[in-house]
Amino acid sequence: MIGTLRSLARNKHGLPLLVGQSRPVGPRHFRPGGVRDWFILLLPAAEGMDGFVEQPAPREEWGSLAPSIHLPLLPCLLHHPVTRGPKETEFQKTKEACLNYIQDALLQNQWQRAAEFMISYLEILETSTVSKRKTAPELLCQAIWRIGTEILLHHSKSNIEELNYFTERMKNLGVKYYLKVCLEHIFYLLCNGLIDEAYQNLTLAESWRYGEQTAAQNDELKLIQAYKGLLDYYNWSKKREAMLELDEENFTDSSEQEMHNFFRQAAVNLKEIIKIPGVWDPFVVSYVDLLEFYGDFDEAREVLTEYAYNSKFPPNPNAHAYLYHFLKRRGESKKSLVSVLKILHKTVPSHELMLEFYTMLKKSKKDKKRRLGLEVIFEVLDFAGWKENVKAWSCLAEQIKQILDNSNKHLDWVKEEWNSRKDWWPAFHFSHYLAKRNWQENEKLAYEKALLAGILLGKDCKYYKYVLHQGCKAKKKRFQTLKKFVKKHNSAYLRITACSDSSTHL
Amino acid sequence: MDARRGCRQLWVSSRLRGFCHLSQAWLWELPLGMLGERLHEELALQWDQLLFDDAPTGGALAWLPTGGIGASRGCLLHPAGPAMDQLCFQDVVLAPGEDGALRPCAQGSPAQFKLSGRVRQVSATQVDGAAFVGVRSDYHCGAWRLQPGAVPTPLQVVRTTSPASCLTVSPHLPGELSLCTHSGAVYLWSVETGLQRLCQEPETMFFRDASPWRWSEFTAHPRVLSYADRTGVQCLDVRAPTQARRDLFKVGAEAGCQRGERVVLPLYLGQAHPAQHLIATQFSVYVVDERFPLVPALRWEHMMTVPPIFAHMMPGSPRGRSHKVLLGAQRTQELMLLQCTGGSTSACQLVGAPRRLHTIADGLQYLPAMTPHQLDWLHQRLGMPAAGVTATLGRCGPLESMLVFQLSEAGDLFYQTLLHSQPADSSPERGHADEPSTSPSLQTPAQAVQHLPGPGTSCGSGTEGEEEDRMETYLSGLEVLVNEDSEDEDSGSAGQPTDPGAQGQGRTSPNQTPAPSPAIAAQYRRWLATLSHAWKHLAEPAKPRVPLTLSQRRLFTRRELGQVPGDRVLHQQARRQLRRAMRERGLVVGCALGSEPSPLPLPCPVEPQAWPDDLSERLTASWVGGWSNWWEEQQGRSQARQARVRALREQRRRRKRARGLCSLSGSFSSSLTCQSDLSDFSDVSAWSVGSRAPTPVPASPQHSLAPSLSGQDAPAEPWPGSPLACSTQLSQEPGGSQDPGTPSQLLSSQMLRLRGVPRERRKTLRDYLSIFTESPVEPPPEVPSSQASRLGGDHRVPLSQSQASSLGGERHVPLSQSQASSLGGERHVPLSQSQASSLGGGQHVPLSQSQASTGSQAKRKRARMGF
């Protein structure tokens, strides 16, 4: 009790508290290598979140003195349960130390050093007694697999044969991770351009059966099949290219038959994986390509619609883009295209397709759609990524010019849009600093922005004044016309500001 | 309680003694149980903090390049001073060394601002040619503007009532910041228009987590903020904060999270890609795209032992160079470098393996040899937890270098230089080897030690001269350490081949110590001298505890100690005796060693009345033989004291018990028994003495707590033990045919048994009633007759106020406010002024007012969850 009060008192004085005490003991959290990072994207989204709702009970370990955040005290992989307890032998201690050295070497990218330690570490497989190894052979194997792969991938002297050999050994060692090891190996082969070998491995992995272990690795099996489908698609598209190059007469029936075989195999596998909620962009694109080639447009449309609009799938802007491009290729009506982009606009207002959306809406005769077009282009320019996009700025300038020329019929649209932005757009887009920079970097951009600044903020706006001044100094003709235009439409500026003022006073 | 009084440790530390003096008056009054509870809470808190402290999240170190990114000069922002409460803006020039690597050189003295709290976080961004700096301490947040070539100007300071947990500066709009507090509130802070509260949520977003930590960053849209707690990140629209928000990241299966994973630090990667965010957890790092929420674009396990709470991102060049992300941990000083590319056209991916950079403490092995205790200081000093990380890229001719700055909690600033090297002939097996030129290889374990006063130096007494001297050390420190750095770099490149292809050819020992040049050695000695000076002046309690020892000097005088013991005759004699006994294998009898000690004279007889304190009373009692009686009496008294304070908590329980008793019979005796633990009674300190008459009800403390009582229908009832009450009760006895007469009759055990008083309670009852036999009192003079009659009509036993209230089901229970709220009735708990005002506040609420209610909510919530 006294100790705490004492430390409290020290803490009040801003002194560091008990530095270096109570460090967590135990090997470091460490998980080298791992399945390549983009692999995560391809895992299906889980339906329930129950497993994560409750805090894992560290309270039982620590009593009520549990840390508010679960610290990586115990690494999931490299912690060996066998070494715990009073029976920790010298050998176990050495192993722990060895593991720490390996980690150290890996993190400093010293692959040779890591490899040397790894060789020593592998003895664990031989020396450990059977009873001890019973406790966590899977974890051990996974650790060896991951560390070994990482070292082999980076080591300057390693080659493909060695890695193949290592992977084969690993597959037999850890049955529980068989398919994961396969996947990793296949990615490696694919990255090195060994498509055929990868295909062989996929075929082997697909037919692998090992009792209950197969069922447990169902997700991986689906992925294996999907990748096999993808490779089938790859082969198919190669054949298609060859076919397009050759004349129809030279293209024999047998090769056509072959191509159709590839199609069938690919379609079956790809269709399977797309059913599971997840992000399957490459698979969907290939599947749709296959279907389109054989003229099954209804199926393709169904797949794409499902992929974009099924709420079980994570919100994926790419799905909308795929659907839009498909419909566009099919020459669908404007209406359906607009409706697709409208949904995309709601989820991702900063999408690249928004400019296309704007041009479609601009041409529309309906006021409502043109109103939406103005909204879209304004919203696009809200985003930092579009800040210096000349095309977007010229679209907006063009639209507003059109409205002004149209006897200010829709000036209230501009007013409404401007109202929500007038407190931050000037600082965000039309500052003096930006005027200087835009003028230096992109004159066209400066011109468009100056036009808008002159209309929206009046001719006293710093941005407008600076750009105009520079433009006139450089004796550019269009800046003269700009000046005239802004002068002519000064009343519009007054109306915009006046209305917005009154609306804020309401 | 006596144990607390007689704590031996009290006299060890002067600070503790001071604390003791301060708290002597009231600490004894606190009930032990409550104190223990609070202490337990505090211990848990301290333990949490030891394991993971989220206060310095974000880091208190920032680099502002002057003249665009990649410029060769900039401003380093860091806290200094013994309490880390001075904010320094230090101009730094990056000058190339002999080998082309850039080194920082301080230019002039830093602009300093003294703040009123420890600087926890410094965040800085450049907007529109000027730099905006946000500084967060626990209860204050400040904003500065730094224009090139000008002195930094402070803009505004905000005070918060609950600790601030985050302060970020907008990369879009000048003078805009976002601020989060532990009460779960997010504010958009514009220097021009003030604070705007966007939302306030004491609860976490996706599932329950106790941590009050919140974080907020800006996003690609200048009006949309990201809002994070431990369970995830959401996007919050400033223009419509109450509307539904978009989830950006959720701890859970969609992101492939592990069990127990929590968000530790979000970072907006706007410079790399306008829509990307980095989210660090204690296990992994995620890159999340705003346009594609919930599913991370990248996940990587960072392999750090403690959660990274510092992060810094350096955007890659537009020519496809990768973005560099630094992750820093606090306690272990770990520093990890990740490189990633992609985002818009290509998929987001990491380039190369993550790389660990040197920690501050790693520099220790390169320092020259020193004595073990110096080594010990240095070890402690260099091993202090990190307080911030920042980095900058610079170019000198063909060589590109990356400077990584690290700040330790002691205020020491370190840097290391990483040189960029072209990767060796791209090994075909690397899936990501298409990256043309990245992966800076680490070259130097460099230490740049800027001296700052040691943790214990008293800052208040520092004279100006001292201050100047310190400044000088600081500056030259940086310069000379540049040299030191170059030395180390040699060793670094010797120890660690920079060419990745050559790494296979063995590796020399990293522990090769360089021979320091005279200049470095001199500088290093100077730094060490200052450090040791500071160490010696550490406040006593800050030093490691020495085991408790008794000083010999207090037991013997110096003269006595000076005498050689063997000189004394008695001693020689004793020695002879001992030898003889040993020879004869006999016993040494005590008297044989010296002359028979004369019997001690009897002390004067003690007058017990002269010693009124507890201990003496107890001794007297045990001397006389009535110790057990005394003990019982004492027990009763201490129980009474505890009961008074515990009364509030036990209210509900007692009500039940009392109701049960009442419904049983309502008999006189049982009612009397249950009075023994009444709070009213227990308060009368004189009752055990029996010399004073019980006072009427309004004097009891319960009433002072509940003044509203008299206005309600509960009447001021007579003192239950008074003769009036007794007579009323007795006359209402159900089978009351016999008149008990005087109270002494009541005391006969036969009577008591008749009344069903349990054997073990009889003694208490007898003791209690003996008061009245000894000193009969006058009935309280003014009892309204109507009340008396009402009492008479009521079959319920008139009890003391509190019990009456606890008994009466229909009555309005007059309770103290705290009780009322704890009982959770429909009663309106009177709010304090600040609470009331905050409830009625508008959107633009001054921060200090608005927090009151939520703070209490949060506290209550925590208490509920904790136990």
What are the tens digits of pLDDT across the range B242-264?
A: 777 888 998 887 777 888 888 99
Check residue B3 and give its pLDDT: 45
Q: What part of B 406-435 touches A (C-beta under 8 Å)?
A: 409-410, 424, 427-431
B261 touches chain A (CB under 8 A): yes
Are B294 and A314 contacting, i.e. CB atoms less than 8 angstroms apart? Answer: yes
Shortest alpha-carbon distance between residue A72 and chain B (Å): 6
* Among B218, B339, B438, residue whose Cα is nearest residue A428: B218
Q: How many Å apart are CA B426 and CA B388, to the nearest integer?
A: 35
In terms of CA atoms, which chain A residue is nearest residue B501?
A156
Amino acid of residue B160: T
Higher pLDDT, A500 or B698: A500
Report the range of poorest mean pLDDT among B116-125, B186-195, B622-631. B622-631
What average pLDDT does this structure show over B400-422?
83
Residue entry with tokens 């007692």 = B654
Check residue B142 and give its pLDDT: 92
Report long-range pairs for A293-299 (Cβ below 8 Å, ≥24 apart): A293/A240, A293/A263, A294/A263, A297/A330
| Dihedral angle computed from the Cα positions of residues B475, B476, B478 and B480, in that order, rounded to the nearest 10 degrees | 170
Identify all chain A residues contacting B49, using CB atoms and an 8 Å cutoff. 17
pLDDT above 80 for B850:
no
pLDDT above 80 for B754:
no
pLDDT-derived band of residue B715, with 50, 70 and 90 as boundaries?
Answer: very low
Check residue B180 and give its pLDDT: 92
What average pLDDT does this structure show over A448-461?
86
Amino acid of residue B773: T
Check residue B753 and give its pLDDT: 66
Higher pLDDT, A190 or B720: A190
Identify all chain B residues contacting A428, using CB atoms and an 8 Å cutoff. 172-173, 222
A504 touches chain B (CB under 8 A): no
pLDDT above 70 for B458:
no
Burial of A398 (0-12, 13-18, 19+ CB in 10 A): middle
pLDDT above 60 for B830:
no
Higher pLDDT, A98 or B122: B122
Shortest alpha-carbon distance between residue A282 and chain B (Å): 12
Check residue B557 and give its pLDDT: 52
User: What is the pLDDT of chain A when averaged over all its residues?
Assistant: 75
Higher pLDDT, B99 or A187: A187
What is the ipTM, given to two decimal places? 0.80
Higher pLDDT, A28 or B90: B90
What average pLDDT does this structure show over A332-361?
90
Check residue A55 and give its pLDDT: 31
* Among B1, B119, B134, residue whose Cα is nearest residue B55: B119
Report residue A368 CA to chain centroid gap: 34
Are A28 and B329 contacting, i.e. CB atoms less than 8 angstroms apart? Answer: no
Q: What part of A 304-363 touches B (C-beta under 8 Å)?
A: 314-318, 348, 350-351
Q: How many CB atoms lie within 10 A of CB A177?
A: 21
Q: What part of B 449-488 touches A (C-beta under 8 Å)?
A: 455-456
Check residue B136 and give its pLDDT: 92
* Among B399, B371, B534, B376, residue whose Cα is nearest residue B96: B399
Residue B199 structure tokens: 């939302």
Q: What part of B 23-82 touches A (C-beta under 8 Å)?
A: 39-40, 42-44, 46-52, 54, 82
Q: How many Å apart are CA B783 and CA B725, to the nearest integer?
A: 11
Are A167 and A183 contacting, i.e. CB atoms less than 8 angstroms apart? Answer: no
Q: How many Å apart are CA A313 and CA A326, to the nearest integer?
A: 19
The residues with which B277 forms a beta bridge, in sequence order, are B268, B288
Size of interface A-B (CB pairs under 8 A): 270
| Dihedral angle computed from the Cα positions of residues A418, A422, A424 and A427, in that order, rounded to the nearest 10 degrees | 110
pLDDT above 80 for A17:
no
pLDDT above 70 for B520:
no
Interface contact B291-A113, CB threshold 8 A: no
What are the tens digits of pLDDT across the range A135-161?
A: 466 677 778 888 888 888 888 888 888
What are the tens digits of pLDDT across the range B26-46?
A: 777 778 888 889 889 998 888
Are B691 and B819 contacting, i.e. CB atoms less than 8 angstroms apart? Answer: no
In terms of CA atoms, which chain A residue is nearest residue B193?
A423
CA–CA–CA angle B559, B564, B568 (5° rounding): 100
What secondary structure letter does DSSP report for B542? G
Identify all chain B residues contacting A158, using CB atoms and an 8 Å cutoff. 429
What average pLDDT does this structure show over A194-220?
81
What average pLDDT does this structure show over A94-116?
84
Reported as half-sphere exposure (CB side, CA atoms, 13 A), residue A21 has a value of: 11
pLDDT-derived band of residue B278, with 50, 70 and 90 as boundaries?
Answer: very high
* Among A91, A78, A168, residue whose Cα is nearest residue A124: A91
Q: How many CB atoms lie within 10 A of CB B588?
A: 13
Check residue B315 and give its pLDDT: 86
The continuous run of DSSP H or E covering A345 comes out as helix A334-347
* Among B159, B144, B134, residue whose Cα is nearest residue B58: B134
What are the tens digits of pLDDT across the range B757-796?
A: 666 666 766 776 666 555 544 444 444 444 433 433 334 3
Question: Which residues fall within 8 angstroms of residue A483, CB to CB, at 6 or more apart?
Answer: A468, A472
Interface contact A16-B503, CB threshold 8 A: no
Residue A160 structure tokens: 């493909």
Report residue B287 CA to chain centroid gap: 32
Nearest CB to B48 within list A10, A67, A72: A67
What average pLDDT does this structure show over B175-202?
89
| Dihedral angle computed from the Cα positions of residues B393, B395, B401 and B405, in that order, rounded to the nearest 10 degrees | -40
Q: Which of A212-221, B278-287, B603-612, B643-652 has the highest mean pLDDT?
A: B278-287
Check residue B452 and give its pLDDT: 33
What average pLDDT does this structure show over B282-309?
87
pLDDT above 60 for B528:
yes
Mutate to test the interface with A, among B254, B264, B439, B865 (most CBs of A within 10 A): B254
Percent of chain A at pLDDT exceeding 90 = 8
Check residue B144 and give its pLDDT: 92
pLDDT above 60 for B592:
no
Handedness of CA B764, B766, B771, B772 (dihedral sign): positive
Interface contact A384-B172, CB threshold 8 A: yes
Check residue A40 and give its pLDDT: 28
pLDDT above 80 for B714:
no
Are B90 and B124 contacting, i.e. CB atoms less than 8 angstroms apart? Answer: no
Shortest alpha-carbon distance between residue A405 and chain B (Å): 31
pLDDT above 50 for B395:
yes
User: What is the pLDDT of chain B when averaged over all its residues?
Assistant: 65
Residue A497 structure tokens: 């500001």
Burial of A364 (0-12, 13-18, 19+ CB in 10 A): middle
Check residue A474 and give its pLDDT: 82
Identify all chain B residues contacting A153, using CB atoms and an 8 Å cutoff. 429-430
Q: How many Å apart are CA A183 and CA A219, to the nearest integer?
A: 12
Residue B107 structure tokens: 């230019």
What average pLDDT does this structure show over A302-331?
90
A427 touches chain B (CB under 8 A): yes
Report the range of poorest mean pLDDT among A284-293, B96-105, B453-462, B717-726. B453-462
pLDDT-derived band of residue B663, with 50, 70 and 90 as boundaries?
Answer: very low
Interface contact A110-B301, CB threshold 8 A: no
Check residue B700 and give its pLDDT: 37
What average pLDDT does this structure show over A337-345?
91
Distances (CA, A) of A156 to B338, B498, B503, B794: 21, 14, 8, 98
**φ and ψ at residue B779, rounded to 5 degrees:** -65, 150
The continuous run of DSSP H or E covering B215 comes out as strand B215-218
Check residue B416 and give its pLDDT: 83
A14 touches chain B (CB under 8 A): yes
pLDDT-derived band of residue A87, with 50, 70 and 90 as boundaries?
Answer: low
Of how many residues is chain B composed?
867
What is the DSSP annotation of B32-49? HHHHHHHHHHHHHHHHHH
Higher pLDDT, A73 or B358: B358
What average pLDDT does this structure show over A200-224?
80
